[in-house]
Structure 1
C-alpha cells in the first residue's frame, strides 16, 4: 500500500510527471484539510472528505494497490433531516455508534440522535444521559466535522428535551462555551447557535444559576459568551419572574460585566441593564416607610434603587448606561 508520505509527495509533482489515471474510479486522494472560512461556504451545508483505505475489489490507483473511498459528511439543517427508516434498529446500535472510533460512522450516528430527538424523542428518554455523555465526548474530538455535528446535535437535544436535561447539562455547557470561544469560525458559529437554542428551550430559572460561575471564568472569551447567554435568558423570566429571581441580584451581575475586558461582555451587560430598567419601572420597589402617612405609597426611582443596591462607582456606571438610553424602547419585556 502506498504510504501517506508517498501520496503527499506524488501530489506535489507536476501533472506531466504524475502516473496516468485511466478510470473515473481511480481517484488520487488528497490529504484531509479541515474546512476554513474560504472552503466552507456561507451556509456550511456539506463537507466532502477523501479517505484512503485498502482495496476491496482489486482496483488500483496508478501503480499502487490503493483504492480511494470518498466519504461525504453532510451538515444538514434540522428542518431538512428525514425520519429514520427503522427506529428500533437504529436504537440498538446507537450507543455503539456513538462510541465508535470511525469518525464517519460517529457523524452518521450523531445525525441519527438528531432524528430521534426530532421525530421520536420518547425513544431516547431512557438512555438520554448516556447519549449526552457521548455528545460531550464528540465535542472534544479534534476533527472539526465531528465537533460541528455534535454541536448541531446539542441544539436539537435542547429543543426536544428542554428542562429535563438540566442534571446532565453542566459538562455540555462547558464545551459549548469553549467551542464558541475558539478561532475556527464555522465551529464557533455552530456553538453560538447551540447556546442560543439553550437559552430559548431551557428555563432561565434553571439555567441562570449554571451560567453565573462562568461570568467569573479566567478566560475572557468564556465570560463574554456566558454574559451573552445571561442577557438573552433574563427577559424570558418576565417582569414578575425578574422580581422573584431578584432584580437587585441581576443588576449586580450586569454591573460587574460592565467593566469586563471584552466588548462583547460589556455590550451584553448594557443590553441586560436596559431590560432590567424597563422591568423595574413597570414594577418598582417600594421605598422604606416614611414617618408621615400618605395615600400614595412612595417608591424608589431607578436611580435610587441602583444607588441603594450598588457601590457608588458601580451605580454611576449603571446610571450612565441607562440614562443615555432612557428614550430608546427596549423590546423583550
Structure 2
C-alpha cells in the first residue's frame, strides 16, 4: 500500500477503516442513525456557541443566528392552537425534560399555546410545568432561555395571581436574565417582568420582591427595585395606606444609597408616589392647621419613621422634585 493510501486510511473514521480493510472491491451501504445525526448536530451547534468570541453585540448576533436556524420566536398574538391537544399534553413533561434543545423550544411554545387556548386544562399540571420552565431559564443555550422567558410572559398574562406560590424560581432567574449582557435575552426578560408587575396583584408580589433588595448582586437589586416601584402605584391610594406608607418609605429610603443608578432612580420615583399619597390622605383641615400646624407634615412623617440621615436624604429628593414642579408650573 502506498504512503498516500496509508495517510488517507488514517484520517478515516474507525468504522470506515474496518470496511475498507475487510471488503476490498465490495461496496458497503452506509448505516445512518437519526439519533446520531441529532447528537452530531447538537454537538456542532454547541461547539460553535462555545467558540464564538464574547465581545459586545457580536455574541448576541452569533447566538441569534444559531438559534434562528432551528427556532422561531413567535409573539403571543401570533400563536395558534396546537393541532392535537391530547397528544400535546401527553408529550409536555417529556418534551420539557428533553436534552434535544430544538424539541425543548418546540415544547415551550406548546406550553404557551396550551396556556392561551386551554387555560383550565393546564391548571392541573401548571405547578410541575412552571418548575420545568424554571429549569429552562437556566439553560446555557440562548434560544432555549429566550423561549422560556417568553413562556413566562404568557403564564403571567394567563394565570396572574394563581402562580404566586410557584413564582420564586421564575422570579430570581428573570431578575438575573434582565440584567445580563445579551441584549435579546435581556429585553425579553424585561418584558416578562413588566407582564409580571402588570398581571400579578401588587399586594401578593411586593413581599416576593423585598428579599431581593438584599441580594449580593447589585443588578438584581436594581431590577427588583424597578419592579417594586412599578407595582406600588397599582395598589391605589387606599391600598398604599393599608399596606403601610411607613413600611414603604423605609424600603424606598434603603435603595436611595444603592450602588446602581437604576436602584436610586426607582427609589426616587417611589418616594414621590408615596409623598403624593400621603399628602392626599393627610390634607389638613383649617382647624387642624390652627391647632397643630406641623402634626401632619410630610417632613415630620419622614423624621419619625426614618433615621436622621435617611430622613434628610428622602426630604432632599422630595423637596427638590416639589420645587421643580412649582417652578415649572
> What TM-score, normalized by structure 1, do the two folds share?
0.76
- 1:257-268 correspondence runs (5 A): 257-268=255-266
Match of 2:70, SS state, is strand
Alignment of 1:158-169 (within 5 A): 158-169=156-167
The structure having more radius of gyration, on CA atoms, is 2
Provide Cα deviations, 1:18-52, integer angstroms capped at 9, x if missing partner: xxxxxxxxxx98864479735867xxxx95538xx
| Among candidates 111, 115, 124, match of residue 113 of structure 1 | 111
Deviations 1:178-218 (A, max 9, x none): 11122222111111111111111111111111110100111
Name which of 74, 97, 100 aligns with 2:98. 100
Q: TM-score, normalised by structure 2?
A: 0.77
1:230-257 alpha-carbon deviations (Å, 9 max, x no partner) = 0001001100000000100100000000
| Cα 1:282/1:75, change in 2 over 3 Å | same
Q: Deviations over 1:127-185 (max 9, x none)?
A: 00000011011001110000000000001100100011111111111111111122222
Equivalence for 2:153: 155
Mean CA deviation greater in 80-89 or 208-217: 80-89
- Of 134, 145, 156 in structure 2, the residue corresponding to residue 136 of structure 1 is 134
Correspondence 1:315 to 2:320: no
| In structure 2, distance between residues paired with 1:320 and 1:2 | 75
**What is the alpha-carbon distance in structure 1 between the residues aligned to residue 83 and residue 59 of structure 2?**
33
> In 2, distance between residues paired with 1:190 and 1:258?
27
Q: After the TM superposition, which residues 225-264 of structure 1 pair with which residues of structure 2 at under 5 Å, given as runs?
A: 225-264=223-262
**CA RMSD, 1 decimal:** 3.1
Distance 2:66 2:303 in 1: 59
Name the counterpart of 1:282: 280
Q: Check conservation: 1:285, 1:299, Cα contact below 8 A.
A: no
Q: Aligned pairs, how many?
A: 280
Structure 1, unaligned stretches of length 5 or more?
A: 4-27, 51-69
- Residue in structure 1 matched with residue 122 of structure 2 by the alignment: 124
Distance 2:208 2:160 in 1: 15
Task: Give yes or no for contact 2:60–2:183 (8 Å, CA) kept in 1.
Answer: no
